[in-house]
Amino acid sequence: MGFGAVQFVAAWLVWTAGAEDGGWSQPEGSGLEDEGGCSIQVLDGSELSQQQFLERFAFSRPVIIRGVTDNTRFQVLCSRSGLLQRYGSLTIRLSTANTHSYRKVDVAFQDYVDRLLRPQDAAVLGSETLYFFGDNNLTEWQNLLDRYQAPPYFLPGRSAAYSFGIAGPGTGVPFHWHGPGFSEVIYGRKRWFLYPPDRDPRFHPNRTTLSWLTDTYPGLPEAEAPLECTVRPGEVLYFPDHWWHATLNLDTSVFISTFLG
């Protein structure tokens, strides 16, 4: 299932006609306009060496890095038409978008894009929201992921594993934590909220990030406010081990994370 030269040229022609969103845009007004503030340090890749990454961020705090990867080719391949042409009939595994996710649902990728990739309703619970991220047979997607240029930074003794996702406006995963990793947006915008390991966020594990943003976030005292920022295409966010984080897709978003296990 490799991407040959002819297929790439065809994908490129489609992508150039709508390069900004790759064909993933929803009807006007379905995206979320409020990007919030940014309390996470943002650096250019040329300003951050591997040694500086280890000393300043790897074990202590998140950072957003711009211009550290060039995934133009990968972005072309991730256009809506390109992925549907290549993977439309493939069965993918969705998981529920709550903090303790247990339910799994298998659907065709075409069905997910046509029927489930829609704006989040704030009243719908996380256990009722199906989310496409990770939890899939990487053998089927390996030819695509091989084209992804991962961030050049690393943690000694840890190996990288990719998780690829696509989700509609207002969707996201509520607060949870795991090992360290990077997350890059390919299309769309993704808003992040983070707390260090010693600060438990105030949230309900079965309420979506959108409902938390609407109901809980506005009333948080300044001392309980999370670190936050909106990540755009070409930007990579790094989060350290055990940091709480929640995500909110402001548009239909295509994204990929590099988990350091």
Length in residues, the chain: 261
Residue 15: the pLDDT is 42
pLDDT single digits (tens) 174-198:
999 999 999 999 999 999 999 999 9
Residue 9: the pLDDT is 47
Q: Does residue 118 sit in helix, strand or coil?
A: coil
Residue 25: the pLDDT is 87
Q: How far apart are the first and last CA of the chain?
A: 27
Residue 11: the pLDDT is 46
Domain boundaries, the chain: 42-260
Residue 3: the pLDDT is 55
Instruction: Give the neighbor-by-neighbor strand order of the sheet with 104-108.
Output: 42-44, 63-66, 235-239, 181-187, 253-260, 160-167, 130-133, 91-96, 104-108
Residue 28: the pLDDT is 73
Residue 152: the pLDDT is 97
Residue 207: the pLDDT is 95
Residue 248 contacts residue 188 (beta carbons within 8 Å): no
pTM over 0.75: yes
| Strand ranges for the chain from DSSP E | 42-44, 63-66, 91-96, 104-108, 130-133, 160-167, 181-187, 190-195, 227-231, 235-239, 244-249, 253-260
| Strand ranges for 91-189 from DSSP E | 91-96, 104-108, 130-133, 160-167, 181-187
The span from the CA of 122 to the CA of 29, in Å, is: 16
Backbone phi, then psi, for 104, in 5-degree steps? -120, 140
Residue with tokens 């190996």: 159
User: 220: which residues sit within 8 A by CB, 6+ positions away?
Assistant: 202
Backbone phi, then psi, for 82, in 5-degree steps? -65, -45
Residue 122 contacts residue 210 (beta carbons within 8 Å): yes
- What is the homologous superfamily of the domain 42-260 according to CATH? Cupin (2.60.120.650)
Tens of pLDDT along the chain (261 residues) come to 455 544 544 444 444 444 579 999 877 767 799 999 999 999 999 999 999 999 999 999 999 999 999 999 999 999 999 999 999 999 999 999 999 878 999 999 999 999 999 999 999 999 999 999 987 767 789 899 999 999 999 999 999 999 999 999 999 999 999 999 999 999 999 999 999 999 999 999 999 999 999 999 999 999 999 999 999 999 999 999 999 999 999 999 999 999 998
Residue type, 132: F
Residue 177: the pLDDT is 96
